[in-house]
Amino acid sequence: MTSLAAREPGAKKLGLVIDLDTCVGCHACAVACKEWNTGGHPGPLADYDPYGRHPDGVWLNRVHTYEAGQGAAGRTVHFPRSCLHCDEPACVSVCPTGASYKRAEDGIVLVNADLCIGCKLCSWACPYGAREFDEDDGVMKKCTLCIDRIYNETLPEAERVPACVAVCPAHARHFGDLGDPTSEISRLVQSRGGFDLMPEMGYRPVNKYLPPRQSTCSAPALAEPEVPAGSAAERLLGWLDRALSR
Amino acid sequence: MSPALSVIFFTTVSGAGYGLLMLTGLLAPFRLAPASPWFGLAAVLFALALASAGLVSSTLHLSHPERAWRAVSQWRSSWLSREGLAALLTYPPAFAFLAAWFRAGRPDAAMAACGVLAAAAALGTVFCTAMIYASLRPVRQWSNAAVVPNFLLLAGFSGALWLCFLARVFHAGWVVPSALAMLFGSAGLAGKLAYWRLIDQRPGESTIETATGLGRLGRVRALDPPHTEENYLLREMGFRIARKHASRLRALALLVGFALPVVLIAAGFALPAVPALVLAIVAAVAALVGIFVERWLFFAEATHTVVLYYGRAA
């Protein structure tokens, strides 16, 4: 049923917290996601022309890189983007068949591939571009929060986290219950000022992003290298300049 | 947004069909259109043929058309589901309307009741179609107050033109359909101009700064995309059209789709029956062509917030 169930305050909301301060932009989370999920719940994830001139395919996690701020205050920020498992997921309510659903027990947004008709409307309804259509299967694919890992009792308990979280070498990805204000991950959001993406859209994302910290060290500005006037080096550079300008 | 021909064909052609059914159901009972049941047969069957051709086309757009029947199940939340349901619910009153018309041999109360029901279902279907777009917040060119009136006016306009043509064929009751066609055409043209002014002037609520949440650090600029090739997101939601092409197509849609049909129908008032009939069919076809261009632009000019992540404007 694509109508959203009323959720009690404090109900379980599993999700991710992504630390934009420590993310190094290595894309390991994207690759681990693709690797796990192509053999997991939403798999296989199509690859088109994988070794050809225009490789393309379905990925459930994509890492962008931005420059935020300008001049000396500007910094590079790596930005992983995946499903935010929103509290108001219009991708679910627009689905005409009931293929898209949000689980009442943990808030995870999933697609039932046996019901999906491939109308793509859910991908239009997602402001974040979290859903990617699989041309080979003709159904929509999305992040499952690795439901086949986090509840998987055949895995050692420490590995029962999403593949992207397990692989992250910078520990920039955290997994937990964001519905519980006392959980470790909720306290992390609280202490670091975690924020929502595009709050103005009203989708109320569950996943949070932690802002880059203020820089604490300031390197001195680099001075222009000085070449003494009339020196051999200056004459050599002058001759080079003239020779190359001809 | 990528202009998928199947969806553009569906909304244009089925819009005309539902418009024709709506106006036949509302005008014929009050003898504002030809009263012959044979006219009813022509109008209702043609309307349902247009609507059905559009529905089949939209079903073929699906990757799993064999599962299309499931799409009527989620009408509680989904406008697409409601549209499918309304489309199906239009057939029974439309056929009942026709049957009542033939049984009495002329408009009567039973025929009028069924006609109004069929008209309501047809109107409801077009309304649901428009709401599919109007409810998508990530696309600012769609989620605004001008979209639903535009869809309804254009359905009424193209439907009135076909009704006018059929009335001309039956050589009766063409005055009110002609007047309505001119009215809807002028209102549709004004509505389209207002829509274009709205989408040209109103900037998007979301920016790359709100999309990334990095506005707190200052201006944000996309440095590296996550992938080197176009992917599904950019193909489906990153369609771009040159401003020059868009303005030419807008002018074409206005001239061919609105101005020309209105002028032709107006000329029909002053002409003998046969030339007026010829002008009526030219007007109806021109409007379909113009609305097809208008609908193509409705998709091509729409931008989705996902492109903000790729450093583009939305």
pLDDT in tens, B173-192: 999 999 999 999 999 999 99
Tell me which chain B residues have a C-beta less than 8 angstroms from the C-beta of A3: 74, 76-77
Shortest Cα–Cα distance, B125 to chain A (Å):
15
Between strands A14-19 and A208-210, the pairing is parallel
Q: Is residue A38 part of a domain?
A: yes
The terminus-to-terminus CA distance of chain B in angstroms comes to: 11
B234: nearest CA partner in chain A: A129
Q: Which of residues 189-218 of B touch A (CB under 8 A)?
A: 205-206, 208, 210-214, 216-218
Out of A76, A133, A197, name the one closest to residue B223 (CB): A76
- The DSSP call for residue B33 is S
- What pLDDT score does B249 carry? 95
Neighbours of A157 (CB within 10 A): 7
| Burial degree of B290 (CB within 10 A; 0-12, 13-18, 19+) | buried
Shortest Cα–Cα distance, A162 to chain B (Å):
20
Q: Is residue A218 part of a domain?
A: no
- What pLDDT score does A246 carry? 78
Residue B202 has pLDDT above 90, yes or no: no
Token readout for A71 is 């001049």
A93: nearest CA partner in chain B: B77
Residue B198 has pLDDT above 80, yes or no: yes
Length of chain A: 246
* Lowest mean pLDDT, pick from A76-90, A212-226, B242-256: A212-226
Tell me which chain B residues have a C-beta less than 8 angstroms from the C-beta of A90: 135-137
Q: Is residue A41 part of a domain?
A: yes
Mean pLDDT of B235-264: 93
* Lowest mean pLDDT, pick from A125-129, B3-7, B26-30, B117-121: B3-7
Residue A141, phi then psi, degrees to nearest 5: -120, 150
| Burial degree of B212 (CB within 10 A; 0-12, 13-18, 19+) | buried
CB contact under 8 A, A94 and B79: yes
pLDDT digits (tens, 9 = 90+) for B20-32: 999 999 999 999 9
What CATH number is associated with residue A164? Answer: 3.30.70.20
Q: How far apart are CA A241 and CA B202, in angstroms?
A: 52
Quick one: pLDDT band at residue A40, thresholds 50, 70, 90?
Answer: very high
Shortest Cα–Cα distance, A177 to chain B (Å):
22
Domain count for chain A, please give it. Answer: 1
Token readout for B128 is 């649901």
Mean pLDDT of A90-117: 96
Tell me which chain A residues have a C-beta less than 8 angstroms from the C-beta of B309: 64, 79, 81, 128-129
Out of A27, A63, A93, name the one closest to residue B78 (CB): A93
* Widest pairwise Cα distance in chain A: 83
Evaluate whether B25 touches B116 at the Cβ level (below 8 Å). yes
Report yes or no: B78 at the A interface, CB cutoff 8 Å: yes
CB contact under 8 A, B64 and A198: no
Token readout for B255 is 């001239």
* Separation of CA B47 from chain center: 14
Residue A82 has pLDDT above 60, yes or no: yes
Residue at token pair 């009424």:
B156
**Residue boundaries of the structural domains of chain B:** 5-62+70-310
CB contact under 8 A, B226 and A30: yes
Between strands A208-210 and A109-111, the pairing is unpaired
Pick the CATH number of B5-62+70-310 from 1.20.1630.10, 3.40.50.1980, 1.10.3720.10, 1.10.220.110: 1.20.1630.10
* Residues ≥6 apart with Cβ < 8 Å to B86: B121, B124, B125, B127, B128
- What pLDDT score does B98 carry? 97
Tell me which chain A residues have a C-beta less than 8 angstroms from the C-beta of B211: 127-128, 197-198
Token readout for B230 is 């176009």
pLDDT digits (tens, 9 = 90+) for A209-242: 999 998 777 777 777 777 777 788 888 988 999 9
Residue A73 has pLDDT above 90, yes or no: no
Tell me which chain A residues have a C-beta less than 8 angstroms from the C-beta of B64: 116-118, 138-139
- What pLDDT score does A233 carry? 85
Evaluate whether B2 touches B299 at the Cβ level (below 8 Å). yes
* Separation of CA A197 from chain center: 11
Residue A7 has pLDDT above 80, yes or no: no
Tell me which chain B residues have a C-beta less than 8 angstroms from the C-beta of A138: 63-64
% residues pLDDT > 90 (chain A) = 81
Length of chain B: 314
* Separation of CA B256 from chain center: 16
Out of B73, B219, B225, name the one closest to residue A70 (CB): B219
Q: Is residue A226 part of a domain?
A: no
Residue A4 has pLDDT above 90, yes or no: no
CA distances from A236 to A226, A239, B32, B211, B231 (A): 14, 5, 96, 52, 51
Evaluate whether A153 touches A14 at the Cβ level (below 8 Å). no
* Lowest mean pLDDT, pick from B148-157, B237-246, B263-272, B282-291: B237-246
CB contact under 8 A, A196 and B136: no
Report yes or no: B238 at the A interface, CB cutoff 8 Å: no
Q: How far apart are CA B131 and CA A173, in angstroms?
A: 38
Token readout for B110 is 């039973």
Evaluate whether B246 touches B124 at the Cβ level (below 8 Å). no
Tell me which chain B residues have a C-beta less than 8 angstroms from the C-beta of A196: 213
- What pLDDT score does A224 carry? 76
| Burial degree of A22 (CB within 10 A; 0-12, 13-18, 19+) | middle
- Per the prediction, chain A carries an average pLDDT of 93
- The DSSP call for residue B260 is H
Residues spanned by the domain of A151? 14-210
Mean pLDDT of B250-274: 95
Evaluate whether A29 touches A63 at the Cβ level (below 8 Å). yes
Q: How far apart are CA A57 and CA B282, in angstroms?
A: 46
Residue at token pair 């009203």:
A202
pLDDT digits (tens, 9 = 90+) for B285-294: 999 999 999 9
Q: What single-letter amino acid sits at B263?
A: V
Out of B74, B218, B219, name the one closest to residue A2 (CB): B74
Quick one: pLDDT band at residue A180, thresholds 50, 70, 90?
Answer: very high
CA distances from A194 to A176, A186, B179 (A): 14, 9, 60
Q: What single-letter amino acid sits at B296?
A: W
Evaluate whether B253 touches B275 at the Cβ level (below 8 Å). no
Mean pLDDT of B56-78: 91
- Per the prediction, chain B carries an average pLDDT of 95
Mean pLDDT of B182-203: 94
Q: Is residue A7 part of a domain?
A: no
Out of B136, B211, B232, name the one closest to residue A198 (CB): B211
CB contact under 8 A, B136 and A81: no
| Burial degree of A135 (CB within 10 A; 0-12, 13-18, 19+) | middle
- What pLDDT score does A1 carry? 56
Shortest Cα–Cα distance, B202 to chain A (Å):
16
CA distances from B154 to B20, B257, B288 (A): 11, 10, 10
- What pLDDT score does B195 carry? 96
A3: nearest CA partner in chain B: B77
> Which one, of A208, A203, A177, A176, lies nearest residue A191 by Cα?
A208
Residue B245 has pLDDT above 80, yes or no: yes
Tell me which chain A residues have a C-beta less than 8 angstroms from the C-beta of B139: 124
